[in-house]
Amino acid sequence: MTPESVMGIGIQAIKVGLMVAGPLLLAALVTGLIISILQAATQINEMTMTFIPKILVIVGIAVMLGPWMMRNFIEYTRLLIISIPSVIG
């Protein structure tokens, strides 16, 4: 196992992780920003008001993008399993 192969596997893992987590994190960020603007405009400073909309949006995005996320994970896992013989020997 060469350092280049370890770096390649690590970089690919980071890319897959960012591709899968990115839409969920972006949705939570946008939702939190919108709720914060509404709270500032109405001067309602309730901390729990941001959690419910964020959870609902993240669940909605996960339901919509779930098949795509699973395909990415499965493809990455399949490539890792296929590359085991070349990594070992």
Where is pLDDT greater, at 49 or 73?
73
pLDDT tops 80 at residue 8: yes
Give the mean pLDDT of the chain. 91
Tens digits of per-residue pLDDT, 13-43? Answer: 999 999 999 999 999 999 999 999 998 898 8
Q: Is the pTM of this model over 0.85?
A: no
C-alpha 43/C-alpha 36 separation (Å) is 10
Tens digits of per-residue pLDDT, 49-72? Answer: 889 999 999 999 999 999 999 999
Structure tokens at 79: 């490539």
b/e code 57-70 from CB counts within 10 Å (16+ = b)? bbeebeeeeeeebe
C-alpha 28/C-alpha 53 separation (Å) is 9
